[in-house]
C-alpha cells in the first residue's frame, strides 16, 4: 500500500473545506435574515402603535367635547386647534410620539414636532414599553426612531403616516403605516 501523495491530500482538504463552507455560509445568511425579519416585525408594531395613539387622540377629543360643543367642534380642535391633542404641528414637520408622556382626556398628549428634522431614538424599558425617555429606569436604547406626519385630504379626512426607521448592518430600513381618520360620531 502506498501513502497519500501531497497532491491527493491537497485535493481532499479542498473538497472538505468547500463541503463545510457552503452550509456555514447558508446558516450565517439565515441568521441575518431572521434578525432582519424580527426587526421588521417590531418596526411594524411600532408604526401601527403610532397610528393607534393618534386615533386615541382623536377619540379622546371627541369624548371630551361630547357634552359640550359636539363631535364637529372636536374634529376641528383635533385638526387645527391649539389643544395638546391637536395634530396641527405635524403638518409642516414630522412629529414624534412618546406613550409615556401624559396620554388621556384633558391631560395633554405626547405628540410634538421633531427638533431639526431629527427625532430621537426609542428606548425599551424592562416592562416592554418603548419610550423616548432615555432616563427611564433600565431603559435600553434601540435602533428605532418613529415619526408621524399629518396631511389634509379634505375637510373631513386626514391622512396619518407613521414611519419607523432603523439601521442594521449599515443598511437603513423603513416601515410605514398609513391610515385615514375622519370625524368620529
Q: Express each pLDDT in 23-58 by its tens digit.
A: 878 888 888 889 999 999 999 999 999 999 888 888
* pLDDT reading at 21 higher than 50: yes
Q: Judge whether 108 lies within some domain.
A: yes
Closest CA to 137 of 123, 153, 154, 152: 123
Residue 1 lies in a domain: no
Please write the tens of the pLDDT for every residue from 53-75.
Answer: 888 888 877 777 776 655 557 77
Residue 33: per-residue pLDDT: 86
Q: What is the rounded (10 degree) CA torsion for 38, 39, 42, 48? A: -120
Specify the higher pLDDT residue, 166 or 89. 166
| Structure letter (DSSP) for residue 121 | P
Q: Report if residue 72 sits inside a domain.
A: yes
Of 36, 42, 51, nearest in space to 177 by CA: 51
Three cell numbers at 53? 395613539
Q: How confident is the model at residue 105 (pLDDT cuts 50, 70, 90)?
A: very low
Please report, for residues 2, 18, 84, 87, 170, the alpha-carbon distance to residue 110 in angstroms, rounded to integers and kept in the order given. Answer: 81, 56, 8, 11, 31
pTM: 0.79
Q: What is the band of 143 on the pLDDT scale with cuts at 50, 70, 90? A: very high
- Structurally, the chain folds into a number of domains equal to 1
Q: Which whole number is the average pLDDT over 130-148? A: 87
Mean pLDDT of the chain: 82
Position 141 pLDDT exceeds 50: yes
* 169 inside domain: yes
Res. 104: pLDDT tops 50: no
Q: Can you give the residue range of the structural domain that contains 12?
A: 6-181
- Within a domain: residue 33? yes
Report the C-alpha dihedral over residues 115, 116, 118, 120, rounded to 10 degrees.
-30
- Confidence class of residue 9 from pLDDT cuts 50, 70 and 90? confident
109 in a domain, yes or no? yes
84 in a structural domain: yes
How much is the average pLDDT of 122-144? Answer: 86
Amino acid at each position: 500500500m502506498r501513502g497519500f501523495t501531497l497532491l491527493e491530500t491537497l485535493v481532499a482538504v479542498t473538497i472538505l473545506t468547500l463541503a463545510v463552507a457552503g452550509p456555514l455560509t447558508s446558516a450565517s445568511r439565515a441568521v441575518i435574515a431572521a434578525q432582519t425579519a424580527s426587526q421588521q416585525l417590531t418596526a411594524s408594531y411600532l408604526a401601527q402603535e403610532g397610528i393607534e395613539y393618534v386615533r386615541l387622540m382623536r377619540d379622546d377629543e371627541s369624548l371630551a367635547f361630547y357634552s359640550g360643543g359636539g363631535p364637529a367642534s372636536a374634529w376641528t380642535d383635533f385638526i387645527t386647534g391649539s389643544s395638546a391633542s391637536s395634530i396641527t404641528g405635524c403638518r409642516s414637520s414630522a412629529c414624534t410620539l412618546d406613550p409615556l408622556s401624559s396620554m388621556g382626556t384633558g391631560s395633554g398628549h405626547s405628540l410634538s414636532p421633531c427638533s431639526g428634522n431629527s427625532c430621537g431614538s426609542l428606548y425599551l424599558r424592562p416592562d416592554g414599553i418603548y419610550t423616548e425617555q432615555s432616563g427611564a429606569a433600565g431603559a435600553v436604547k434601540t435602533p428605532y426612531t418613529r415619526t408621524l406626519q399629518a396631511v389634509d385630504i379634505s375637510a373631513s379626512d386626514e391622512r396619518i403616516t407613521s414611519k419607523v426607521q432603523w439601521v442594521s448592518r449599515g443598511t437603513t430600513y423603513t416601515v410605514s403605516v398609513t391610515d385615514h381618520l375622519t370625524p368620529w360620531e
